[in-house]
Structure 1
Amino acid sequence: MSDTPGPDIPLSDPRCGDFLALNHLPGLDGHRTLRSWWEAQPWAIRAEAGWDYDRLREALAAFLSASAHAGTAPVLDTLEILPGRDKSGAPERHALCLRPGDIVALVGPTGAGKSRLLADIECLAQGDTPTGRVVRVNGRAPDPESRFSGEGKIVAQITQNMNFIMDLPVAAFLRLHAESRALPPHEAESAVRRVLESAVGMAGEPFGPETELTQLSGGQSRALMIADAAFLSPKPVILIDEIENAGVDRTRALELFTDQGKIVLLSTHDPLLALSGTCRLVIRNGAVSDVIEPTAAEKENHRRLVHLDKQLGALREALRHGRRIEQPLVFPTP
């Protein structure tokens, strides 16, 4: 008697093979339906896998449904932030309209409200936060899935605190993320390699695929999450809170995101980052008090800061390797 009472599923979709591979099950081997594949498996395979047919069928159906959208980034043409009010209740003056590839720096003293603005964007506020701001996605209010569903959210956030509690090697962690997005094995491996290469290039301190997550330094952890958000996350909006203290190549980090066509908003006190943006928002008393677009003179100063930062990076690298810094320090104009 068969133990397969549920309906059958055809295996014509190539993602069915991906599902079996992700769950470490034998390949399709020419079978055209899930039931025929299941009944052809030895009892030892069934017992070791921990499945029964109905659970396997439900899991495959859910995988096919989820993977139809999992690897596709939401289409975002515009992100608008409509004015709210400051900490005194006075109306905010500036409305913002951001597009893919924009880099927006948030500047202002500690406590001015930079993190609050990032939080309003992260939750796609609809007048229901302390500031009263309203966020529009492609000119309209976001649907509930974009606000409250983890899979439907369009925003990824990289915070100041990057503490891993998973006791896994870096590559295994990245593969888990790729599998959660239902990427086929060959695409997953390619994404893992890109994330690793980019993270190591940004961090300055090399680490490998077998390095344990819990052994990464602060800079390595932040670099890994930046590269992961760039290559493995489909979210089109990236929020970054204080990247300058992480010990990463900040210019390269921003380039990764803009190369992927993402909108980046970052809270910063760093002149190099503040001048890197499409514009910078001056935050005072909980509100956007000014929107500054860089002038030609500021763009030239940004170029000089990039040059100076590279020289300082070379000095940091020399110190890491135990060298003395005895020669007179001269930073020529580039």
Structure 2
Amino acid sequence: MKYKLFGSETGLYASEIILGAANFGTRKGYGADPQESEKILKAYAKAGGNFIDISDVYQFGEAEEIVGSFIKGQRTNFIICSKYTRSSEPKPAISNFGNNRKSMRQAVEQSLKRLKTDYIDIYMPHYDDGVTPLEEIAMGLQDLIREGKILYAGLTNFPAWKAAAITASTKLTALQIEYNLLQRTADRELIPMAKEFGLGVMMYSPLAGGLLTAKYRNGEAGRITHTTAANYTEDEKTKLIINVLLSIAKRYNATPGQIAFAWNLSKEGFPLLGTRNINQFEQNIKAAEINLTTDELSELDAVSAISLGYPHDLLNTVRG
């Protein structure tokens, strides 16, 4: 596995693929049990991976417990990113929810215990709660950095203007976004903003919840998550993208999902690889071995391109 600098504002080298641990544990009635999760973690580490993404809400804290048990005794070998906002409790008290400093403080202390560590490498709100002042979030994250409880701060699922506003008062180093061939709206504002501020970009849902594996063609229902459309399979553009993936996959004796993931790997950010079993992991990790040609990348870029909208389209026109 290759390594690259995480943004331009750190000297942190991270593996090009982040392991997403959202499905580690079974407290929500689905996911990988601790034994299966450990198999995935071991395989990821053996492949050279050193970057794990979790959140306190994943499996109501069980994901952090599983990762904590795995990294015990080898903590310095891994970059751990965790998140708060939604709480690790199934029914949290109203004061233990959201991005306020009270919630932040309680969440980080609990995450540290579950992870069996005294610091978290990257820490961020899971999403914009719409009520907590940006200054409060910024001050809270900065306090945690000064105390050594976290090393770097970031944001997940925030509008670009809010992320830019927080960056003006707090040293942010990470931005986590949804990004794949079916979801490229981050190209409008979020990715340019991240580049301007030197943020490392973490890209979740690279396979669009499984749709880009081409398993759910012809209207078949699938486990599609984090999408902005109710049913991508009815969209002509989606069908075109999947057809291109199928065509390219034949050339490499690969799966459409591996090609979709390889496209994400060609970008400057770091895609998250989430999985529920070791077989799925072993299939998807093979994407790191696929080097798409310039023409193939251009074809995928073109078929998945979006209109940047106003003012970007206007500016591109007047600037020639």
**Same fold? TM cut 0.5:** no
- TM-score normalised by length of structure 2: 0.35
Larger Rg: 1
- TM-score normalised by length of structure 1: 0.34
The answer to which structure, 1 or 2, has the higher relative contact order (CA under 8 A, 6+ apart) is 1
